[in-house]
Structure 1
């Protein structure tokens, strides 16, 4: 069967952020018609209203970095979101040393620190937050070696109960943990440096390699296909995976792990970092080509967001991940 390829290699940025370094973790908050994403390196959280175009930025000064953002949505007595037409004001985010609470136009503070996990303090000093997700009252967050450290397998995935604040090691060793999702009884864990996505019911010990991304990509040893941030479609049957360094998003079936579609982005921005579905469109974040060099922070083509139209035809799908629901 011939692979379905969608070519957006001539797309122009939907949102250009001239000083962005590592735009990541894009998600869509449907009740508020809002895109949110972070710049990990700049320690910033962004929100963009798709109906009005209004954009706001929260700078988590002193946090070290911001790996992921988790919007807080308020629920009515029926358990449904009451944020229709309103702004997302509050959120949790993954900072250098733990999970913090922030508010647009306000300040931030830690609600739990990774040091409470029992991990070695020297190991934690070398790590920073990366991607994560929320399921029920539990927040899962991956830690990787910080920007000034050599990449090793001392990364980890932590599980934090947002009610009790109990924190435990869920996945003890991994080099670059990335997106985490659930489909039915299965959990999917993205392992960037091993170019794969694991599937498990109970955690690290019972994992199986479900998607071997390297099988579907040709590359040199210097440019392995790293699966990065991703999103599910609404029914959980398709997983859209950003392939860092290769200017594309690949779409896999969560039933059998097979590649079903490939979405090509401009070669000028190969560091594709994350994606989110909104209706028929796919929003994609990118990283700067200067990241990891002496030119980090200089203007670059990377760091922008793309809006790719009609990726899924006649669809009202949207992907909301990492949202935290609280009673009014």
Structure 2
């Protein structure tokens, strides 16, 4: 049991082996309670302090305002003792609205004009001391300054409003100008694109027309004569190069072997169509013109024989 108590005394805060366990537990409970209630206590103290500060601040401001008002009244009302003051009769007081004459009794001397009453003189007016005059002058000066500032502010605002409207009109005109310029530019680009497309379309149509015309001319010549001069055909269709004609013929399928016919293009720029019967005639003519000691024929001789056969057909 003693070992347990000594262990508990060691674990508890601010506990010593000589103090009773109950006292340590009471100390620990009080410490926990203080730690638990400390935030609420701090918040209450802060609220009370802030309320007192606000009340003191308000009273201080009111005192300052009252002191300023008192100083201004003293500045306007205080005058030197040796300055004479003459109270002015209330000559500027408004007359009573009811101007009807009062009923008077008729009697001797009543209704006759009496002596002329003198009007208000300058001496009856109140004399203002120099200190109060200076205060009034400063007050009028401040009022005039504030009026001037207000007039300047209104004029500046009016000028700004007018300038804003003018700037807005300038910006609107600039936007319209840019919009018109962009529209004109877009229209120009569209026209250029349409012109380019139209030109490309015409070029394609001319290309197709030249191709068809070239093919028809070459076919007609081959049908009639069996041969065709490609340079002559190129000049007819408006082309200076016969190679273009050769490409067209190769692409159209005219050149090549079809049945017993063979269409080819020579190195001299001729399109030639040869049949099987033509080659038989060429071989027959070559056999007749050949000698007994010569068993072959030159290509030039064969070409001449083929040309003679084509010319006869």
Q: Would the TM-score normalized by the shorter structure come out above 0.5?
A: no
Larger RCO (CA within 8 A; separation ≥ 6): 1
**Interval containing the TM-score (normalised by the shorter chain):** under 0.3
**Higher relative helix content:** 2
TM-score, scaled relative to structure 2? 0.14
